[in-house]
Amino acid sequence: MSQPITLQSALQEWFDNVKKAKVSHNTFTMLRRAAKNIYNYLGKNMLSEITPAMLQNFIDSIEAKAIAHKSRQILKEFFGYCVKQKNIKKNPASKLTTPYIYHREKRVSGNRLNTEEYARLMSVVSKHIFWNPFCLLLQSKVRFSEIIALTWKDVDFDKNRVDVNKYVTLFGSAQGEPYHTRKYRPIIAKTVTVSDDIIEAIKKYRLYRELEQMRVANHYSLCGADDLIFGNKHGTLLNYSGVSHVFRKFLDRRGLSDMAVNFSTIRNTFAVTPKKETAIIPVWGEIYPA
């Protein structure tokens, strides 16, 4: 980068020549979008004139906490690069502070739901065509990686059984695979006997998938014996980060933003026997005593 230069020109040059090669296309697009606020607020200032106070005032002016957090990340990394290139002497973004995106108190009962939390969660989840069967399977002690690998032939609707025989694992460059490659791995097959509630929830979800297949004019197979039960709209594999993000947004929109819960929390509530001080948790007619 040549001197003198404006912050906007320098930042655009850094994005195109440095950052673009290090991140995925989607991440790069998201970062460029977040940088527009920086251009509008500080873009015309000369790079050498930027001070920590100017940057902090900019961060404080952003109402959306997530955007403030992302802007801080961009500025800190960009100015760190400028220091290494000896365009400036110090990193003015090194001590920037941002508010927490959100804060949820630690749960008292560890990585499990108590009775009140479970009731709140299921009052919302039970009304949803996708999350209801998904969470009910988690409560049957089936892991997330096993649920997303289930196919329709693995469910015996007559005998209320689910055959769990594989799971999905994430590979990467360490295993000589392309970045974030998801593959099936076989496991020792286990048959999980489930309740009528779960079977009915899966049946309703199957009807929904059949309607979805009709909407896409059968371009994708969604309900065949070998098709994934919980695949995406194209019938292909889901991933943990994507599903977890959508689940969190779903809970936030329904007034459960204060609840610290994830897929492991739901499963562990039923897979781990509660301690004596833990509240009573119902498990399909069976109750663990307090």
- 51-90 burial string, b = 16+ CB within 10 Å, else e? eeeebbebbeebeeeebbbbbbebbbbbbebbeeeebbee
Count other Cβ atoms within 10 Å, centred on residue 274.
19
- pLDDT category of residue 65 using cuts at 50, 70 and 90: confident
CATH of domain 115-288: 1.10.443.10
Buried b / exposed e over 184-194, threshold 16 CB at 10 Å, is eeeeeeeebeb
Torsion of CA 9, 15, 16, 20, to 10 degrees: 180
Answer whether residue 280 shows pLDDT above 70. Answer: no
233-247 burial by CB neighbour count: b if 16+ within 10 A, else e? eebeebeeeebeeeb
Which ranges in the chain are annotated with CATH 1.10.150? Answer: 7-84
Of 155, 285, 267, 278, which Cα lies nearest the Cα of 209?
Answer: 155
Q: pTM for the full model?
A: 0.57
- Domain covering 7-84, topology: DNA polymerase; domain 1 (1.10.150)
* pLDDT tens-digit map of 79-130: 999 999 888 889 999 888 876 544 444 444 457 888 888 899 999 999 999 9
Q: Which residues of the chain does CATH 1.10.443.10 include?
A: 115-288
